[in-house]
Every structure is written in structure tokens, then in C-alpha cells.
Amino acid sequence: HARRIGPGMVQCYDPAMDSRALEILQRERLLREAIATGAFVLHFQPQTDLRTGELCGLEALVRWRHPHRGIVGPQEFIGFCEARGLISPIGRWVLREACRQMKAWLDAGWPQVPVAVNLSALEFRQRDMVAEVAEVLQSTGLPPSCLEIELTESVLMHPEDGAQDTLNALKALGVRIAIDDFGTGYSSLAYLKRYPLDQIKIDRSFVMDTPDNADDVAIVTAIVQMARSLQLQTVAEGVETQAQVELLRALGCDICQGHVVAAPMEAAALAAWWEAWQAGGMARARRSSPPP
């Protein structure tokens, strides 16, 4: 059961390797099937204005309806799909479905807020984003200002890939551009002035230990101040506590996204959340207005 793999090297038969290879093939088969049958679903997470509490955006987050395991999160399959060349059909579906759903909500009278779609660096480089986005906006009828593309810093670190042209062209369509997971990439701040950006999303890792951790408070403070002077909107990601909300509000951060407001949820559940949130807002407004 031994085979030669090079001069003087012998590899012993390793049944674990076969089972790993089998697992990868099995996984790939399942994902191809999922793509063919449309076994994906979008969850949406609201973003709210830290001053007014109003809804000011939604982020679309993809999930896989696994045949045996129920709903599976993107961390478990996006990277795999990229490696196996399966990401494009999923990304295209996400973009179209997010735009379709947002347009339906606008038609139902929801405020004109953007829906954010995540694009990995690989997707951004591989696909003709501009033509695709233009076509999807056209065919769904979503106003361009109601679409936001979330990119990570790694996309912007390789200007030789034509990121500049692509971003300028997306911007010319009227689409918004956000930098996701800000502060976690191999970042040079130079790109902040080079590219036509609208928003910076402060990574959850800087938010989660505030307000107790003084270093994290300093980092978040600095990011918010820099973003403000560059006239970029700031979103805090992964906000879980009221104490974090108070801190972020005091620092002048614009937007809150996290479990303290709501976790990502299916479209129907989000619609129910939106009803309740509006009612809560009206109740808050009534409480703060003087009695008749």
C-alpha cells in the first residue's frame, strides 16, 4: 500500500486522506445541486440610525438550506465555493434576489434605504460587476441609490486589478460603496482618498469589547473621527449591548448594526420586525412629546 511520490520518498496509504477527498467531492456535489435547485436563502439584518433610531439600511446575508443540516451560514461555504469555482452563480443570485426583495419592499411603502450586498475579492475581480449590476438594477427596477456593495479592504489593495475603474463605474451608476470589516485587512489608508467610498463598517472585533476595553474604545474613536473628516458614513458592526449603543452614539458613529437591534432574518420575519419597530418608534415619539 505504499507508493512513490518522488525520488526517495514513499507515502503510505492513508485512509483518512481518501475520506477527506471524498468529503470534498461530496460537498461539492451538494453545493452544485444547491446551485441548480436554488437552495439558498437571504437573511436581512436591519441597520438603524444611532441618533433617530430610524431604519437606514439592510444587509443581505446568504444562507444555504442544507438537505440534512438545516440552515448553514456563509462562513461554511463561501470560501469553499470560491476555491471550487462555484462562487459566481451564488453571487449573481444574491445580487438579483437582494435587489428584487428590496424593490418589493419599496413598492410596499418602505423607506428608500439601501440593501447591502457582500462581494468577496475574488468575485469582484472575476466578474464583470458593472455590466451585471447595471442589468440587475434595470431588470428589477431598484433605484441605484438603494443598492450598496460591501467590499473588504483586500479588494482595494490591488489597484492593478482595475479596482479604480470598476469602483468609478459603479459609482457612476449611482450605487453606494461600503468597506466591510474595516481595520482588519492589510490596509493602507491611502485607498480611503483614492476611491469613491460612501461608508466604513467598523469590524465587530473592535466593537465587541467596548466600552470596557480602553484600546478598543480608542480605535473606534479614531476610526469614527477619521471617517467623519473624510465625510464617510460609519456603521458599527456586531453591536450587542445598550452600553455599546450609548458609547457609539456619544462618539458620533452614524449607524448601528447588530443583535442589540436585530439579528439577520428571513424576509417575512424582517417585515414583522419592521412593523413592530415602527410601532415602537411611534410609541417612543408619543412618550417624548408633551401630553395634550
User: Residue numbers of the site for ligand C2E (CB under 6 A)?
Assistant: 45, 61-62, 73-75, 78, 91, 94, 118-120, 123, 150, 180-181, 204, 237-240, 258-259, 264
Which among ligand C2E, Mg ion, none contacts residue 148 (Cβ within 5 to 8 A by kind)? none
CB of 133 to ligand C2E, least distance (A): 14
Stretch that binds Mg ion, among 91-99, 148-156, 168-176, 225-233 (CB under 5 A): 148-156
On the 0-12 / 13-18 / 19+ scale of CB atoms within 10 A, 20 is exposed
Kindly state the DSSP code that residue 241 receives in the 8-state scheme.
-
On the 0-12 / 13-18 / 19+ scale of CB atoms within 10 A, 187 is middle
CB of 290 to ligand C2E, least distance (A): 35
Is 28 or 240 the residue whose CB approaches Mg ion more closely? 240
CA 130 to chain centre: 18
Question: Quick check: 123 binds Mg ion (CB under 5 A)?
Answer: no
CB of 15 to Mg ion, least distance (A): 39
Subset of 220-279 contacting Mg ion (CB under 5 A): 237
Subset of 81-120 contacting Mg ion (CB under 5 A): 118
Q: Assign 148 to helix, strand or coil.
A: strand
Is 40 or 289 the residue whose CB approaches ligand C2E more closely? 40
Is 78 or 224 the residue whose CB approaches ligand C2E more closely? 78
What is the rounded CA–CA span in Å between residue 115 and residue 55?
Answer: 11
The number of beta carbons lying within 10 Å of the beta carbon of residue 196 is: 12
The three cell numbers of residue 169 are 463605474
CB 26 within 8 A of CB 67: no
CB 220 within 8 A of CB 251: yes
What is the rounded CA–CA span in Å between residue 158 and residue 162?
Answer: 8
Is 97 or 181 the residue whose CB approaches Mg ion more closely? 181
Bond prior to 290 in cis (omega within 30° of 0)? no
Which among ligand C2E, Mg ion, none contacts residue 232 (Cβ within 5 to 8 A by kind)? none
CB of 59 to Mg ion, least distance (A): 6
Is 156 or 239 the residue whose CB approaches ligand C2E more closely? 239
CB of 53 to ligand C2E, least distance (A): 17
Nearest to 45 by CA among 200, 261, 278, 263: 263
Query: Checking phi first, is residue 109 left (phi over 0); if not, alpha (psi -120 to 50) or beta?
Result: left
Contact pattern for Mg ion over residues 192 through 231, marking x by CB under 5 A? ---------x------------------------------
Is 133 or 290 the residue whose CB approaches ligand C2E more closely? 133
Residues constituting the chain? 292
> Which amino acid, 205?
S
Is 59 or 163 the residue whose CB approaches Mg ion more closely? 59
Q: What are phi and psi of 7, to 5 degrees?
A: -60, 120
Which among ligand C2E, Mg ion, none contacts residue 74 (Cβ within 5 to 8 A by kind)? ligand C2E
